Amino acid sequence: MDTPRGRATVTIRHEWGLRTQINTMHRHWVLPSGAEARDKIRRRVLFPRELERYAEGAGFKVLDMLDGTGEGLTGPTAYAVARYTRQ
């Protein structure tokens, strides 16, 4: 990755907690100065049916779920399209 001070490199490792549905991304950065830094990002992943139930409980009807591949929900990112149905 290019930065104002030169090129930095990053190594990424993912860890998946099946029971908690938390994806943790561990990053190890090597900065242009030679210094190193580490960080992590934790994200709670909702499965499609779980997302539908939360949406329905909040008054939405899920119209579609897609991931941009055109082949169902197989990609790394998904999008939900929903309509608010409560009056």
Mean pLDDT across the chain: 93
- The predicted model scores a pTM of 0.64
- Domain locations along the chain: 1-45, 46-87
Phi-psi region of 19 (alpha: psi -120 to 50; beta: other; left: phi over 0): alpha
> What pLDDT was estimated at residue 75?
78
pLDDT above 80 for 76: no
User: Does residue 56 surpass a pLDDT of 90?
Assistant: yes
Whether 60 shows a pLDDT value over 90: the answer reads yes
DSSP H or E stretch at residue 21: none
pLDDT, tens digit, 9 for 90 and up, residues 29-48: 999 999 999 999 999 999 89
CA distances from 57 to 50, 85, 86 (A): 11, 11, 11
